[in-house]
Amino acid sequence: TLCTNNNQMLIIPNGPLANSSITNHTRKECRRVSIVVDISYHSNVNYVRDLLVHTLQNEKMVIKEPQPFVVVKSFGDNSINLGIHCWCHTKDFWTLSNTIHETVKEVFDQHHIELPFHEQIVHLMQNSHTVNGDIPHQHSSEYA
Query: Coil, strand or helix: which one is 13?
Result: coil
Q: What is the dihedral of CA 44, 45, 51, 54, to 10 degrees?
A: -150
Residue 103 confidence (pLDDT) above 80: yes
Of 40-49, 118-127, 130-139, give the range with the top mean pLDDT. 40-49
Q: How confident is the model at residue 135, as a pLDDT?
A: 56
Provide CB contacts within 8 A for 34, sequence distance 6+.
83, 84, 85
Residue 78 confidence (pLDDT) above 70: yes
Q: How confident is the model at residue 119, as a pLDDT?
A: 75
Are the CB atoms for 19 and 25 separated by under 8 Å? no
Mean pLDDT of 18-23: 74
CA distances from 69 to 26, 52, 57, 94 (A): 23, 8, 10, 19
Question: What DSSP state is assigned to residue 112?
Answer: T
Mean pLDDT of 46-71: 96
Fill in the amino acid letter for 44.
N
